[in-house]
Structure 1
Amino acid sequence: MTLPFDAKPIPVRPDLATALGSFDEAAVLQQLDYWLDRSNNQIDGQSWVYNTAEDWLMHFPWIKSNNTIRRYFNDLKKRGLVVTGNFNRLGFDRTLWYTIDYQRMLAFKKDFYQKIPEDLKRIFTEGVKGPHPAARRKQAAKKVTSISPESPNGSPQNCVTNTREYPENKSDNNTETVIPYKKILDYLNEKSGHQFKPNDYNCKFIRARWQEGCRFDDFKKVIDNKCAAWLHVMTRDGRPLAQFLRPSTLFGEKFVRYLEEASAENSDFEPRQRMQNISRARKPDYGIRHEVVTDWAKIYENFNDTIDISDEELREQLRNINPDR
C-alpha cells in the first residue's frame, strides 16, 4: 500500500536539513543542486541557473509566498553556501543567477559532523534500524549543535534542531480527464524545434493552467501564435526570441493574455467564464449615449439673405459694442 498521491517526491537529506535547521532550506538547496547539474549556462567554468522568486516558488508548492523563498535564499547566502550574480544582457533585467559554493559545502558538512554525537552520526550514515526510532531520535536531537546563519565561518551556536515536517501535497486528483503533458510538450517541440521533456518542472506549468480550466486546444493556440511571432526573430541585443518558446514562459502567469491574443482575430471569440475568473475584471456597461445633431441647413433657411440696415447704422452699433473703435 502506498500513499495515494501522484507527484514525484522531493528527496531531502536528513543530515543537510539538520545542519541547516530547516527542512525547507535543505529542499531549496537540493533543488538548486539538481538544476545546476543539468544547466548549460557555464561562466568561468561554473554552472549557473537563473530564476525569479515566482519561478522558484513553483518548485515548492507548500511554500506560500515569494518573501519566504527569498528569505531562504538570503539565509543560504549568509552561510556562504549559495552565490548569486547578474549576468543578464539587458540592464533592466534584475533576474538573479544562482550557483552553489561546493568548497564551502564540504567545509560546512565537515564542521557539522565534527559536532554531532556518534549515535546521530550513525543514523545519518547507516540509516535507522528498527521501526520505532522515536526515543533515539528524541535523545539525539537534544545533543545536536547546528550552525546558525549568523556564524557563516563555522562558529557554532548550541541549539536544538528545529525542522518543519513535509506537509501533504493536497493536489486535486479528481480531474475529469488525464492531463496530456506529453501531448502538449510534443506539440511544442514539433513547432519550436526544442526537446522539452515531461519532467516535474515543465509539467507544473501545464498542471496549473489545466486546473484553471484550460485544455489542449488552448495550449495549441498559444503555441501556434507565439511560434509564429517569435521564431526566427532576434531581440535588440541579438538574442533569438525562440529561447522563450518554453513551458515556463508560454504556460506561466501570462498564459491567459497569450490566449486572448491568439484568439483576438476570431470575430466570434468570447472569453470563457474560466478566463473571467483569472483575468482582469470587465469594465462596467454604461449603455449607449444618444445625441441629436443640429440641422444647420434648416436653420439657415430661416435667415433673411438681405440686411435692411445702412452702413452708418451698422458702424454705430459696432461702436456701442466696442467703444474704443
Structure 2
Amino acid sequence: MKPIIDEPFLLIVPPSLAVKIGLNEAIVLNQLHYRLSQSPLKSGGFTWYHHTYTKWQNQFPFWSERTIVRIFLSLENQGIIVSSQHHNAMKINKTKWYRIDYDVLHAVLGCQIDNTIVPDFQEPTTKVVTTDAQHLAPSDLKELIKEEVKEKHVDFVFEVVNYLNKKTNKEFRASNKATKRLINGRLSEGYTLKDFQTVIDRKVHHWLTNPEMKPYLRPSTLFSATNFENYLNEPTNTQSSKANTGIQPIVLDFDAGEED
C-alpha cells in the first residue's frame, strides 16, 4: 500500500516501544537508530550521530524546538541515549553527538532486541568528520559560534528550569523570554549549573513550607542578579538556616515577569 503522501522518508514507530517509553520518545529513538545505521562517525568503539536541535527540528517539523529538547533530555536521563560534546574537532563546536545504549534499551523493554534492529557494529576506527577553523570563512565561523552558543544555552536553561520545577512542583516554562534572559545572564557571569542547583535547594529548604515566602520560589526572584549572588553566598549552618526561614528582604525585578 502506498502512503497517503509521498515523502522522502517516513517515521516508523514500533507500538511496543511506544508503550514502554512513550510515543514521542519512541519516534525520536527510532529515528536516531535509523540515522546511526547510516552514520560514518566512529569513536570509542561506538557509532555516533551528531546534530543540533535546530537541525533535529527539520526531521521533526511537527514539534517545537522546546519539545525536541525535552524529549532528548528524557531519553538521556533514562540512559537510553548517550550524548557527548567531546568528539568535536574544534573546542568551540558544542554540537551534541548521540548514540543509543542498547543494553539499557534491552533492560527497559524487558525483551531480547532482535539483531535486525541493532545496526551492524563495526570495529572501532578513527574516522571522524572534522572541521578546521582555519579553513572556514569568517562568516561561516561566526555562524558556527553563534549556533553552538545557542545550543549550549538551550540545554542549560532547560536543565535549570526542569530542576526548579522538580523541586517546587511547579511548571515554569523554559521558553519564557524573561526566564531565559535571567538564566543566560547568570551563565554569562560564569555561574554553573551547580550554582543554580545550590540556590534552588537552599531557597526551597527555607521557603517551601512558608506560605508567605513560597510564591517567591520563581525564576524572577531566584535568578535576578542581586538575589542570585546573595542566595548563593548565604551561610549554610543550622543556626542560620533557622533564622532564614522567616521573611527576608527580596529584590524584585518588575521587568522580569513570568509571562512572555
Tell me which protein shows more helix as a share of its residues: 2
TM-score by length of 1: 0.34
Compare relative contact order (CA 8 Å, sep 6+) and give the higher one, 1 or 2. 2
